[in-house]
Structure 1
Amino acid sequence: MERHPLTGDFGKFSALAGCAGWALPVTDTRVRDTGTSLQLSGHLHETMSPYAWTTQMQAIIGGAVLTVDDDVHGSVFMDPACGAKVATYFETGRLAHGRCRGMRP
């Protein structure tokens, strides 16, 4: 964590994304309940944004998790059923829980 505070154990992420490790000043981020809902989504087999980050975030700040069973970053809207679950949140405020298939090779 000391060497890669942004990516932690995923230090290899620094080389892939190029943004981790930027020499930016550290700022204190305070997480608090704002009284609004939070929709999280995570791709179960993705390496760029590991699924563990999704569940860790939910444990810290709450919200609903929609698990996408693929490894394709940004694929939610390429699967109509999955995209509809996310869009429903933005249209109605109804949170999506559970899983959706995502992309298949």
Structure 2
Amino acid sequence: MISVFVDELEFDTIIGLLDFERVKAQKIRISMEFKAYEFIDYADVCKITQEEFNKQKFYKVEDALEYFSVKFKELYPTLEQLYMKISKINIISNAKVGAKIIKNY
């Protein structure tokens, strides 16, 4: 089994429930790990992740995690496990907050 990871992918995107979060993009940081029986191109994973975030404009971090747990399984059928952590970098001045998922297929 192959394990591929991406640590601390950062970009600005619209995500959140509050009015100001729906208007101005904020910085998020994403770490991911894929365990699969096929080649997973981490450059493609980074590109897909950023494109989908900017297209979907998720309201909740948890919604994004669920979305990507389905999306990546569709793209990589032999995916056995997905770890994904999404952090909102600047939403709280003295902490990085977010959510994570460990999905076994």
TM-score when normalising by structure 2: 0.25
Looking at CA atoms only, which structure, 1 or 2, has the larger radius of gyration? 1
TM-score when normalising by structure 1: 0.25
Could you say which structure has the greater relative contact order, defined with CA pairs below 8 angstroms and 6 or more residues apart?
2
Higher strand share: 2
